[in-house]
Structures are given as C-alpha cells and as structure tokens.
Structure 1
Amino acid sequence: MAVLGGAAGSGHWFSALALGVTLLKCLLIPTYHSTDFEVHRNWLAITYSLPVSQWYYEATSEWTLDYPPFFAWFEYVLSHVAKYFDEEMLNVKNLNYSSPMTLLFQRFSVIFTDALFVYAVHECCKCIDGKKAGKELTEKPKFILSVILLWNFGLLIVDHIHFQYNGFLFGLMLLSIARLFQKRHVEGAFLFAALLHFKHIYLYVAPAYGIYLLRSYCFTASKPEPAASSLFPTLSFQEGPLPCLLGSKLLGFVQCFGQTAVCHCLLSVEKAGDASIFLILTTTGHYSLFPLLFTAPELPIKILLMLLFTIYSISSLKTLFRKEKPLFNWMETFYLLGLGPLEVCCEFIFPLTSWRLKYPFIPLLLTSVYCAVGIMYAWFRLYVSVLTGPPVSKTKKQ
C-alpha cells in the first residue's frame, strides 16, 4: 500500500485511506449477513467436493451455482484456503452451515480480494486531470476520488454486511477503464472479457465497450499515431468511454446501481455538472439500499455511515467546484432533504401504526418509488449532458 501511495506522488495518504477502510471492514465482521452468505458457502462446498462436470448440476441446496465459469474457479481457489479454517463448511450436505471460523473466512475473503479494487482505484486516480488541484491535499481531485471510491457506502454495506464480492468485480471494471484511458486497449478489453466470465450481469455493457474499442482502437490501428491520439486530445474522463458505459448501465439500474455509481465517481471530479448528477444518483441509490439491512443492530450503522459518506461527498465536491454555480438547484435540494423525513416515517413512525400488520410492504413501496424518481432524474440529466455537451475538440497537427 505504501508503494502505491508513493507512486501517486502524495506521500502515504492513499495507503492511509486504504488501511483505514480495511480496519472498518474488520469491525463489520460480526454484523448481520444475508442468505448470500450461505449461497457462497455452498458454492465453496460444490467446487471443493465435486468434479468440474457436476458443478452446475449439483442441486442439494436451492442455491445452485449459477455464475459464469471464472467465478466458479474463483470459489474453487477460495475453498482450498477455507479448508484450513473449517473443513465442515465444504461439505455439500451441510446446508445452512455456520461456525465462527466459517464467518471469519467468508468475511476475510471479501476483504482480501478487495485488494484488486484498491489497486484499480489507484490506477484510475493516475488518469485524473490535476488542473483543479488545490493547495490542500483534501482539495485535490485524486484525494477526493480516492475517498469516494475506497470508502463507498454502497460497497461497504452490500459486501461487508449484506455479503457479496462486488469490490473484487468492480476492481476488474475500474482497472479495465483505467487501461482504456492509458491507451492500453488490448489489456482493457481482456480485463472486461474476464469480468464477463466472472459475472454475466455485466453483459449489457458489452455493446458500449465494443463500440468504443472499434472507434478508438480498431479503426485507428492502421493509421498514423496522430489520428489515434485525436480521439483523446486530453486525458479527460468526459471524453472517454464513461458516458457511453454509464448510459448503458443506467438502463439496467434496478439491478446495477452500484456499478453505475462507482463508475460515475470518475466523472464527478472532472465537471461540476457531472458532480451534481453523481451526488443525486449516489445519495438516492445508497438510500435505496437501506431495506437490505432490516435488522435493528444495523440501523444506526447504516444511517451513520451514509451520513458520513454523503456529507463528505457533497462538501468535498462543492469545495472542488466552488468557483462555479451551485451543484444543486432548489428542486434537487428539496428532493434530497426529503430522504430524511422518509427515513423517519419508514423506520420510526410506521412501525407504531396499526398498518404495520395489514400493510407491511408500505415502507418498501415508499422507498422504492421515492428513490426511483431520483434515479430516473439522474438518468435523464446524464443523457442530456452527453447529447448536448460540446463535441470532442480536435488536436493540432504535429
């Protein structure tokens, strides 16, 4: 980690950020976990106990292996470490098996594989334009982006409380994007292809990747270098593949909010308009994740973590773009502030009413509808920004 921080030219601040969030993840180990915990435990057992030919046919548990082959092999590798913690977790017949060592292994496996996400964030930060950098470290775009990505509220609660491996997968996605900006197109394409073999939900992004690679690599491979470089006159995220990728991602937002928000972080430190879209999207989307953590002990944790992340994101981006117009208009401000009363209504007032037994779905319905408005609004603003923004400038002839 220290090497990464030094490489970024900012001492050890990146290392400190990465270490700090890792310690927080360790503190979240005892918290609630969803059925996904048993899903991945069963996949460990399947890949460890059975030959490859039976992996996708084993149906002792209802949680059958349904991810692409690379993820199955990922579970296979993890299983050979898991056996040193508690080999009973690797028995296919032990349905819903749990033990303290199983919990530790599962949690630590997510934390350990997040190392790829940390590296990918570091590589993306190297692509950030430093023209807006302030004198203070906390005002530098690279620092702000690092905090927003490494301490992302959605990743923390979905991966390290609810339990999934999104950080590892986002790492592949961000590293692929970073390689595209570094004009290492073959590596970027390879990483994205690998990502598809880990989780098929990224498939709808493939058309955007294909079009971008045709435009920036395939159609320029036989031309002189100046023609290729004209596609990227400056290394700005706004002129790269992200608008195209985000457009396709927002179409699948219901299932993929995390992917959209994490990728839009990269645009948020480049332009005030994109920062505004990001803040609306991430604040609304993060609140929409609250129903995932429905147990009482996690209530103060999710509220506190979201408040800290949201306050930092808004204040840091406001500081970065303080010389430009306000990030929110009155309507957007009113909408975002409305999340507070909505939470009070759903978590504290509704449980005291007689409706809680007859209409238990009302809090989830209110949350879904309210957040859908913000998500669609962000989608609309993003498309308006992409379609009406200035065209990519042409570079001067060498």
Structure 2
Amino acid sequence: MAPPRTPDAATTFLWQIGVATALKLLLIPSYHSTDLEVHRNWLAITGSLPLSDWYSPSSPGSNPSPWTLDYPPFFAYFQLLLSSAASAVDPIITHLHLGIDYKSSSVIFFQRCSVILADSLLFAGAYLVSRRMSGPARWTLWMLIVWSPMLIIVDHVHYQYNGFLLGWLLLSLWCLGEGRDLAGGILFAVLLCFKHLFAVAAPVYFVYLLRRCFVGKGGFMRGLGRLTVLGAAVVAVFASAFGPFVYYGKMNEVISRMFPFGRGLCHAYWAPNFWVFYILLDKFLSSVLRRLGFEISLPAASFTGGLVGDSSPFAVLPRITPLTTFIMVLLALSPCLIKAWSNPRPKLVARWIAYAYTCGFLFGWHVHEKAALHFVIPLAVVAVQSLEDAKHFFWLSIVSCYSLFPLLYQAQEYPIKVLLLLLSTILMFLGFSALFDTNKASEASKASALGKGGQSKKSKGDCAKKRGFAFGWTGRAYLLGIIIVELWGQFFHPYIFSNELPFVPLMMVSVYCAVGIAYSWLWQLRSILAFS
C-alpha cells in the first residue's frame, strides 16, 4: 500500500490563503472606521478631478469631505485605478458630493473586496521570501503572515491597505536577501511613493546599498558604476511619481498634505511608545508641583482629550518638536547603521529593517498604533530563524495585537478581536513548537552520528533543554498582565466609575503595551549588536 501523499508547498500555501480569504469575506459586514469613507473620497477625487487638483484642499468642484489625499502619488494612482472599477460596480461610489455618511452596500462590498484582492501582493511577497527556507519554516512563516490577526483587524475590519503595502516591503526584502540589490532598492523606492511613512527604514537601505555597491570584485570604479545605476533608478521612480505635480507647480500642496506636522505629537489614541511615558511624567510632575503650592499653567490642549490636533504643549517638561523626534529616531538607528556599513550581510537585512521600524514607532512624531505592523511583519521573517527569535516574536506579536484592541470599540466586534488573538496565539505556539522540535530531532540525530554511548545521550539531553519552546516567569507574568488590564477596562472600570474617566482604560492599554514594545526595542538592539 502506497504511503499517503504529502501536499506540496504551493498547495499548502494556497489552502492557507483560501481559508484566510473566506474569513475576510465573512468580515465584510463588520464594523468599519471612517477610513473607509476616507478612501472612498480618494476614489472620488482621483476619478473626478484633474491630477493638478488631487492634493488641493479647496479645489474647484471639490466635495465637502474634509479628507483630501495625504498619501504619495503612487497610492493616488492606485486609487485612480480602483475608481475605474468602482464606477463599473456603482457610479455613485465615485461621486464627489456624497458627503461623509454614505454607507451603501455597494461601496462597502467593493472597498472590502479591493483590500482582499490587494492582499495578493502580500501573499506573493510571503511566498518568495520563504523560498530558501526548510519546509516547517516556510509553513510557519506563511501562517504568521497570512493569518496575522493584526492585518485582519486593521485591514479587514477597521479598513486600510497595509497588506498591499507590506507586500512591496516583503518583495524588497526578498530581493535584498537574494543579493539583487538594484531590484530591492527600486522596490523600496516604489513603496515610499505609495506610503511615505515607510521612510523610517530609508537610512538602513541607504547605508546598506551604498556599502554593497563597493563590496566585491571590480574596485572603486565598478562600485561607482553600480551606485550611479542604483541612484538613477531610484530618481526615475520618484520622478514618475512626483513629476506631474512638479510640472503643475503643486509640490507644496503635496508635501503639506503628506507631512501635517500640526497634528501634534500623539494621536487621539496614544500609540504605545516612548511618548506615553513622557506624557505621564509631565502630568505627574505638574500634579506634584501644584500640590506643593506652585502655580502651574495647564496647556489648553489635553493629551487625554481624545481629539486629533496640536496637543503637544506640556505643563512642566520641554515641548517636543518634530525635529526632536527625528533626531531621537536617528540616534536610535545609529547602531544598526554602523552594523549595516561594517558587515552588509543580506541575511541580516530583515532584522535591521524591523529594528528601524521599531525605532520609528517608539520615538516618532504622531505615530499611529497601526504602525506596529511595520515591524511585526518583517520580524516574522526573522522569527523562523532561531528559537530565541521565535520566542521574541511570539511575545511581541501578542502585545502588538492587543494594543490594537481599542480600534474595535463596538460590542459586536469584541468577540472577533478576542478570537483572532486567541487563534493566532494557538497557531503560533503549534507552529513554533513543530518547527523547533524538528530542529531538535535533527540536532539529536547529528549528535548520535558523531558519537555513541554517554556522549550521545548527553548531547540529546542538552539539546532538549536548549530547544524547548517555553518562557520564563517574567514573560508569562507580563502576558498574564494583559488579561488583567483587559478585565479592568471591559468590566471593572465601567462598573466602578460608570461614565467617568473614560480615557483611563485606553491609557492603561497604551502604557502597558508601551512597556512591552520598549523591551522589544532593547531586545532587538541587543540581538543586532550580537551579530559580528
């Protein structure tokens, strides 16, 4: 009797995509944020107005919606492409004067399906970046990306196109990992012309690609030639994106929309980063000084007001400016840049890029909590490389996913986000356990082949102790704390305080998750410095 046939890698991958897509289709009727109307308005702008008026806040014939384009031109071109399809489905979707409350089934169905279809680029990136991995590592990586609960929450419930954008990043990482530096640089330039917030990793790309141009045979002149070709290709990408707006004299409008520094240091819901601690310290010091009799003038804009705006003033501590955050991000990046220059190894690129986005998330200006995806997805590529990386990713992905819970604040979506986090936790644990149990068995067999008797048994015992997928008491205690924070915010706080202090549960989530992400930043920094 022939043994049962094991499905090949492509079949396994397609099964994962099929099941994940079915889940996304089931989520079409679920809650969506105002981002769905924002993108519908972008369909109307690109489909109805001339290119020269796309970024104008009050252009002739513009609609009353307050949400004009604030992504780079390639994303606007992408919206123009979608607007043509939207008009075929329902011409009203791209109407400029619909207002901000248009929620017909046609617009919801079309835009939800457009996100699902755009995820094809994410799947392509995940497949390619895993091509040289072993079977268990590939399957685990696919599961981490295809079934990412953060992507499902942000893109397919809250509504955005992060999977599509992260697909470009994965394709770039694949090219760099294969030594195709020119293609990797071009793909990253394309990504920046889709969403400029990915530029946090630009210093790493610049240093790495510059150093790689002069590594290997050919000497200085050949390296200079490589650099010239790469530079020309990147300039061509940016020229194709921004050239039309330069021609129409609209670059000032484009830049002002892409970089609205007037929005303030923090978003309405604090991203769990370094500035959470800075805000709390300012509030603590101002409270103490007022109790001691000092006259402290409180800022008019409160960080706990829950509004988007210039809430940057502080009562005691110095005011933070965009330049301050830029310098802090660059300083945090500097060890990684030194490593990229001194030892530009393709296998370390994903680790460096993930670290760069962690720095941007932790110290950046007006960071959205959704930006955690920028470092979680690249870290998935790193997670299958070693047991310690897997443990770090398992822990960090739970923390990062939980930090997104306040995005889905309606009661009917509560079971969805909880079940997504629980399901992903179980799948990650099973995937990592299977992956590193396989490694353990392989190492044990090698030890047996090298020697017999007591030496072989000792190697097996040492390997089993080293390779167990388990956490120390501090990691388990921190994850348990997430349950306590959630129980307080969902049940005890509303019962004790009723409608008072509504911002406290959100603040607790941000502060608690900020501790975890700050620890992750330090862990990643240590791992980068550990590689020679």
Is residue 347 of structure 1 aligned with residue 347 of structure 2?
no
Cα distance, 1:11–1:91 mapped onto 2, change above 3 Å: closer
Which AA in structure 2 matches 1:154?
M
2:53 equivalent in structure 1: 54
Cα distance, 1:374–1:88 mapped onto 2, change above 3 Å: same
Is residue 385 of structure 1 aligned with residue 385 of structure 2?
no
Is residue 262 of structure 1 aligned with residue 377 of structure 2?
yes
In the TM superposition, what is the alpha-carbon distance from 1:383 to its structure 2 partner?
0.6
User: In structure 2, how many angstroms separate the alpha carbons of the residues matched to 1:330 and 1:319?
Assistant: 23
Q: CA-to-partner distance for each residue in 1:327-383, whole Å, 9 max, x for gaps?
A: 422101110122112212211222222x24220001101100110011011111111
1:114-263 aligned within 5 A = 114-128=119-133, 130=134, 140-220=136-216, 222=218, 239-253=347-361, 254-255=367-368, 256-263=371-378
1:20 equivalent in structure 2: 19
Q: CA-to-partner distance for each residue in 1:253-310, whole Å, 9 max, x for gaps?
A: 2532101000000011101121122122111010000000000110001100110001
User: In structure 2, how many angstroms separate the alpha carbons of the residues matched to 1:343 and 1:221?
Assistant: 57
User: In structure 2, how many angstroms separate the alpha carbons of the residues matched to 1:158 and 1:199?
Assistant: 16
Which AA in structure 2 matches 1:364?
L
In the TM superposition, what is the alpha-carbon distance from 1:213 to its structure 2 partner?
1.2
1:351-362 aligned within 5 A = 351-353=494-496, 355-362=497-504
Which AA in structure 2 matches 1:246?
A
> Structure 2-normalised TM-score?
0.66
In the TM superposition, what is the alpha-carbon distance from 1:173 to its structure 2 partner?
0.3
User: In structure 1, how many angstroms separate the alpha carbons of the residues matched to 2:418 and 2:217?
Assistant: 50
Match of 1:93 among 92, 97, 105: 97
Is residue 370 of structure 1 aligned with residue 507 of structure 2?
no
User: In structure 2, how many angstroms separate the alpha carbons of the residues matched to 1:366 and 1:62?
Assistant: 31
* Larger radius of gyration between Structure 1 and Structure 2: 2
User: In structure 2, how many angstroms separate the alpha carbons of the residues matched to 1:370 and 1:288?
Assistant: 9
Match of 2:107 among 81, 90, 102: 102
Q: Is the 8 A contact 2:147 2:424 kept in 1?
A: yes
Q: Is the 8 A contact 2:351 2:378 kept in 1?
A: no
In the TM superposition, structure 1's runs of 4+ consecutive aligned residues that sit over 4 Å from their partners are: none
Q: What is the DSSP-based 3-state SS (H/G/I as helix, E as strand, rest coil) of the residue aligned with 1:56?
A: coil
In the TM superposition, what is the alpha-carbon distance from 1:325 to its structure 2 partner?
4.8
Q: Is the 8 A contact 1:157 1:302 kept in 2?
A: yes
User: In structure 2, how many angstroms separate the alpha carbons of the residues matched to 1:260 and 1:241?
Assistant: 13
In the TM superposition, what is the alpha-carbon distance from 1:58 to its structure 2 partner?
4.1
In the TM superposition, what is the alpha-carbon distance from 1:34 to its structure 2 partner?
0.2
User: In structure 2, how many angstroms separate the alpha carbons of the residues matched to 1:216 and 1:316?
Assistant: 35
Q: Is 287-296 or 182-191 further displaced after alignment? A: 182-191
Q: Is the 8 A contact 1:89 1:98 kept in 2?
A: no
User: In structure 2, how many angstroms separate the alpha carbons of the residues matched to 1:320 and 1:330?
Assistant: 23
Which AA in structure 1 matches 2:26?
L
2:394 equivalent in structure 1: 279
In the TM superposition, what is the alpha-carbon distance from 1:168 to its structure 2 partner?
0.3
Q: Is 357-366 or 250-259 further displaced after alignment? A: 250-259
Q: What is the DSSP-based 3-state SS (H/G/I as helix, E as strand, rest coil) of the residue aligned with 2:415?
A: helix
Q: Is the 8 A contact 2:32 2:157 kept in 1?
A: yes
User: In structure 1, how many angstroms separate the alpha carbons of the residues matched to 2:407 and 2:68?
Assistant: 22
Q: Is the 8 A contact 1:114 1:167 kept in 2?
A: yes
Q: What is the DSSP-based 3-state SS (H/G/I as helix, E as strand, rest coil) of the residue aligned with 2:381?
A: helix
Q: Is the 8 A contact 2:432 2:469 kept in 1?
A: no
Q: Is 241-250 or 39-48 further displaced after alignment? A: 241-250
User: In structure 1, how many angstroms separate the alpha carbons of the residues matched to 2:498 and 2:207?
Assistant: 50
Q: What is the DSSP-based 3-state SS (H/G/I as helix, E as strand, rest coil) of the residue aligned with 1:61?
A: coil
Which AA in structure 2 matches 1:34?
S
User: In structure 1, how many angstroms separate the alpha carbons of the residues matched to 2:66 and 2:192?
Assistant: 24
User: In structure 2, how many angstroms separate the alpha carbons of the residues matched to 1:303 and 1:11?
Assistant: 30
Q: Is the 8 A contact 1:272 1:327 kept in 2?
A: no
Q: What is the DSSP-based 3-state SS (H/G/I as helix, E as strand, rest coil) of the residue aligned with 1:358?
A: coil
2:33 equivalent in structure 1: 34
User: In structure 1, how many angstroms separate the alpha carbons of the residues matched to 2:194 and 2:78?
Assistant: 8
1:394 equivalent in structure 2: none
Is residue 335 of structure 1 aligned with residue 335 of structure 2?
no
Cα distance, 1:49–1:218 mapped onto 2, change above 3 Å: farther
Q: Is the 8 A contact 1:22 1:111 kept in 2?
A: yes
User: In structure 2, how many angstroms separate the alpha carbons of the residues matched to 1:343 and 1:247?
Assistant: 28
User: In structure 2, how many angstroms separate the alpha carbons of the residues matched to 1:336 and 1:150?
Assistant: 24
Q: CA-to-partner distance for each residue in 1:21-71, whole Å, 9 max, x for gaps?
A: 011110000000001011000000000010001000044321111110000
Cα distance, 1:11–1:241 mapped onto 2, change above 3 Å: closer
In the TM superposition, what is the alpha-carbon distance from 1:318 to its structure 2 partner?
3.1
% identity of equivalent residues: 40
Where in structure 1 are there 5+ consecutive unaligned residues?
A: 1-5, 134-139, 392-398
The total of aligned residue pairs comes to 366
Where in structure 2 are there 5+ consecutive unaligned residues?
A: 1-5, 59-63, 224-339, 362-366, 438-463
User: In structure 2, how many angstroms separate the alpha carbons of the residues matched to 1:21 and 1:215?
Assistant: 40
Which AA in structure 1 matches 2:430?
S
Cα distance, 1:11–1:177 mapped onto 2, change above 3 Å: closer
> Structure 1-normalised TM-score?
0.87
Q: Is the 8 A contact 1:46 1:58 kept in 2?
A: no
User: In structure 1, how many angstroms separate the alpha carbons of the residues matched to 2:122 and 2:383?
Assistant: 19
User: In structure 2, how many angstroms separate the alpha carbons of the residues matched to 1:221 and 1:351?
Assistant: 67
In the TM superposition, what is the alpha-carbon distance from 1:125 to its structure 2 partner?
1.1
